[in-house]
A and B are shown apart, each in its own frame.
Chain A
C-alpha cells in the first residue's frame, strides 16, 4: 500500500520572474509565477488547470530547473524533504523526475525514434524500450522512423514512453492532450492514471479541465501565475457549491456542459499584476481588502484556497 501522506514534491511560495528590456531599453522584472503552492504525493495525479498564459508550462520548467538564463526563481521547492536546488535538480533530471512534453517539436527532427527514446544514458535501455513501445501499441518499425513521419498520436506515445523508460518517481506532463481525438486523449490520461496507481506521482498540466477531473485526485486551479485553489477532483464533479474560490466557480460555469457562461474581463498580463488578490479586478465579491492585500493560503474543507471570503 502506498503511503498517501508522504509528500514527494512540495512547492512553497514559488515565484518566477524574467528580466526583460522594455521599449526604452530599461530593465524590468516580469513576474510570471507568484507565490505558488503545490504539494504532490506518491500515487496521486494532480491536475494543474488554468487558461493559457497562466504560467502552467513554466511551472514544469521551474521544477526541472531548466528555465531560461534570464529567469530568477524565489521560494522553496522540496523533493522528499530535501531542498530542491540546482544541484539536486540536475541529479533528479536524469533519473527521478521526467517531463512529458507537449508536442512532436520536442523530438530531435534528425534523430531516429529508437535511439531518441533510449536517451543518452549508457547502457541504452533498448530491450526495455521495445517492451514499453509494444505495451503502448507502437510498432517495431517505429524505432526506425524520424519524428516528422509520426502521427500526432504516435508522437504522443513516444513522448510518454520516455517517462516510462526513465523509471521516474515524478512525472510532469505538460499539456499532453491538445490536438488529440477524445478517445486518444482518454487513452493518454488513462496511461497517466496507471502510472500513478503504480506509485508514481503525476503532475498533469492541462486545459482540458473537464477530462482531467475524471482522472485526477486533486485539481490545482491556476490563475495569473498562482494557484487560487487546490481541491479534490470530486468537488469539481459536484459543482460550484463544493468549490471554494470564485475563479474556480467561474471556471466551472464557463465549461460548455455547465452553461458555457463567461465572466467579464481578462487575466492580468504578467507585467501589470494587481497589488492585492490577483483575481480581485474580476471578482464579483471583491472588497477593498482584496484590492490591497494578497490573501494567504487557507485550508478549507479538505482543500487549499487563496481567498479571504472562501467558505
Chain B
C-alpha cells in the first residue's frame, strides 16, 4: 500500500527531526539553568522548610552532579532522563513525571475542547465570510475577528470570569472541580462545567486566525479559473462551495489546525492561570516563579514534544490527503 509506505517514510523523517530538536532544546534549557543563579539543590532544600538528612542531601547532589563540570552534569542528567527519572519537583514534592502526567490529562481536555471548538467554528465562519465577501455578514465577522485577534487572551479570560461567573453566576470561578468535593465524587458533568469557560477563552485565541485564513483561502479559490469554469457550466454558488470550495480549502485548514498546537500551548499558560485551572500551563508558570528546576525542564521538554507531534501529524496528513503532494513525491 503506497499510502502506508509514504506515511511511514514521513513519520520516520519527522521522528529524526523531533529527536534532534529535543536534544537541542534539552542542551539549551540545561545551559540556561546552569547559567542562572538558581541552585536546584538549594532550592529543593529551601522548599522543604526543614533540615534534610545527609543521605538525602547526598542523593540530591548526586542527581544534579554537584562539583562536576557542566558537560558532565548534563550527560548525567540526560542519562537519568532517558531512564525515565525526571527528578523530583521541589514545589510539589513529587516525581516530575507523575506531575506532568496528571497535569497533562487536565490540559489535554482543555486544549482538545478549545482546539475542536476553534477549528470547527473558525472553519465554518471562514466559509461564511468567504462566500459573502465584502458584503455585510463578511464585514461584521471580519471586524469581530480582528478585535478578537488583537485582544490579549488573559484579558478576555478576566472579562468572561467577571461577566459569566461573577455577575451571571453561570460558571465556576476557577479550578477543574468543585471545592470541598472529594476527587472520586466529582462527576464528569462537574468537570465539563469547569472546563467550558477556559476552553472557550482559549479557543477564541486561535479561532480568529483560522477564520481569517479560511476566508482568504476560499476567496482565492472562488477567484480561480476552475471556479470560473464551474460557473460557466451552470453551478450555483452553493454547489461551487460544496464541489470545489471545501475540497480545496480543507487541506490548508487541516494543516493550519495541527500547526496551531504551539499557539494553543502558549495560550493555555495564560488561560489556566486566569482560571486557576490545574493543567500543565499553570504548572509551568508556578515552576518558573518558584525556581522549580526539574519541573521546568520536564515541562519544557514535554511541550516541545507535544508541539512537534502536532506538526508531524500535519505533515503526514498533507502527504496522505493531497494528491498533488503524493504525485510530486513519487
**Chain B CB within 8 A of A90 CB:** yes
Hey, which chain B residues are within 8 Å of A61, CB to CB? 228
B229 and A101 contact, CB distance less than 8 A = yes
**Chain B CB within 8 A of A79 CB:** no
Hey, which chain A residues are within 8 Å of B327, CB to CB? 146, 148-149
8 Å CB interface, A91-110 against B: 93-95, 98-99, 101, 103, 105-110
B232 and A111 contact, CB distance less than 8 A = no
1/0 contact trace for A40-78 toward B, CB 8 Å? Answer: 000000000000000000000100101000000000000
8 Å CB interface, B214-252 against A: 224-226, 228-235, 239, 243-244, 247-248, 251
B233 and A99 contact, CB distance less than 8 A = yes
Nearest residue, chain A, Cβ from B326: A146
Q: How far is the CA of A128 from the CA of B181 in the complex (A)?
A: 70
User: Distance (Å) between the CB of B221 and the closest chain A CB?
Assistant: 9
A146 and B323 contact, CB distance less than 8 A = yes
**Chain B CB within 8 A of A141 CB:** no
8 Å CB interface, A142-172 against B: 146, 148-149, 162, 166
Chain B residues with a Cβ closer than 8 Å to the other chain, count: 21
**Chain B CB within 8 A of A295 CB:** no
> Which of B234, B244, B322 is A108 in contact with, Cβ under 8 Å?
B244
A110 and B232 contact, CB distance less than 8 A = no
Hey, which chain B residues are within 8 Å of A66, CB to CB? 228, 231-232
> Which of A64, A90, A94, A105 is B226 in contact with, Cβ under 8 Å?
A105
**Chain B CB within 8 A of A303 CB:** no
Hey, which chain A residues are within 8 Å of B233, CB to CB? 93-94, 98-99, 119-120, 162, 166
User: Distance (Å) between the CB of A164 and the closest chain B CB?
Assistant: 13
B229 and A110 contact, CB distance less than 8 A = no
A111 and B243 contact, CB distance less than 8 A = yes
State whether A109 and B235 are in contact (beta carbons under 8 Å apart), knowing that A146-B327, A148-B327 are contacts in the complex: no
**Chain A CB within 8 A of B324 CB:** yes
State whether A110 and B322 are in contact (beta carbons under 8 Å apart), knowing that A105-B226, A120-B239, A148-B327 are contacts in the complex: yes
1/0 contact trace for A104-124 toward B, CB 8 Å? Answer: 011111110000000111000
State whether A108 and B232 are in contact (beta carbons under 8 Å apart), knowing that A120-B243, A146-B323, A146-B324 are contacts in the complex: no
1/0 contact trace for B289-330 toward A, CB 8 Å? Answer: 000000000000000000000000000000000111001000
A64 and B324 contact, CB distance less than 8 A = no
Q: How far is the CA of A112 from the CA of B224 in the complex (A)?
A: 17
Q: How far is the CA of A224 from the CA of B239 in the complex (A)?
A: 36
A111 and B225 contact, CB distance less than 8 A = no
State whether A107 and B229 are in contact (beta carbons under 8 Å apart), knowing that A95-B234, A120-B239 are contacts in the complex: yes
Q: How far is the CA of A212 from the CA of B53 in the complex (A)?
A: 99
State whether A120 and B324 are in contact (beta carbons under 8 Å apart), knowing that A101-B225, A111-B243 are contacts in the complex: no
State whether A93 and B239 are in contact (beta carbons under 8 Å apart), knowing that A108-B244, A109-B226 are contacts in the complex: no
User: Distance (Å) between the CB of B327 and the closest chain A CB?
Assistant: 6
Q: How far is the CA of A93 from the CA of B327 in the complex (A)?
A: 34
Hey, which chain A residues are within 8 Å of B244, CB to CB? 108, 111
8 Å CB interface, B29-43 against A: none
Nearest residue, chain A, Cβ from B323: A146
Most buried by A among B230, B231, B232, B235: B232
A108 and B231 contact, CB distance less than 8 A = no
Q: How far is the CA of A105 from the CA of B232 in the complex (A)?
A: 14
User: Distance (Å) between the CB of A258 and the closest chain B CB?
Assistant: 34
B228 and A120 contact, CB distance less than 8 A = no
Nearest residue, chain A, Cβ from B247: A110
State whether A111 and B234 are in contact (beta carbons under 8 Å apart), knowing that A105-B225, A106-B225, A148-B327 are contacts in the complex: no
State whether A110 and B248 are in contact (beta carbons under 8 Å apart), knowing that A105-B225, A162-B233 are contacts in the complex: yes
B324 and A148 contact, CB distance less than 8 A = yes
Hey, which chain A residues are within 8 Å of B323, CB to CB? 110, 146, 148
Q: How far is the CA of A269 from the CA of B226 in the complex (A)?
A: 28
B226 and A93 contact, CB distance less than 8 A = no
Nearest residue, chain A, Cβ from B232: A99
Hey, which chain B residues are within 8 Å of A162, CB to CB? 233
Q: How far is the CA of A121 from the CA of B239 in the complex (A)?
A: 10
1/0 contact trace for B101-120 toward A, CB 8 Å? Answer: 00000000000000000000
A107 and B231 contact, CB distance less than 8 A = no
Hey, which chain B residues are within 8 Å of A95, CB to CB? 234
Hey, which chain B residues are within 8 Å of A103, CB to CB? 225
Q: How far is the CA of A162 from the CA of B229 in the complex (A)?
A: 10
User: Distance (Å) between the CB of B102 and the closest chain A CB?
Assistant: 43
Most buried by B among A94, A95, A109, A162: A109
Hey, which chain A residues are within 8 Å of B322, CB to CB? 110
Hey, which chain A residues are within 8 Å of B224, CB to CB? 105
B234 and A94 contact, CB distance less than 8 A = yes
Q: How far is the CA of A166 from the CA of B233 in the complex (A)?
A: 9
Hey, which chain A residues are within 8 Å of B251, CB to CB? 110
A93 and B234 contact, CB distance less than 8 A = yes
- Can you list 8 pairs linking A and B with CB atoms under 8 Å apart? A94-B233, A99-B233, A105-B226, A107-B226, A109-B248, A110-B251, A110-B322, A119-B233
**Residues of A at under 8 Å CB distance from B?**
61, 64, 66, 90, 93-95, 98-99, 101, 103, 105-111, 119-121, 146, 148-149, 162, 166
Closest 3 CB pairs of A and B: A94-B234, A99-B232, A106-B229
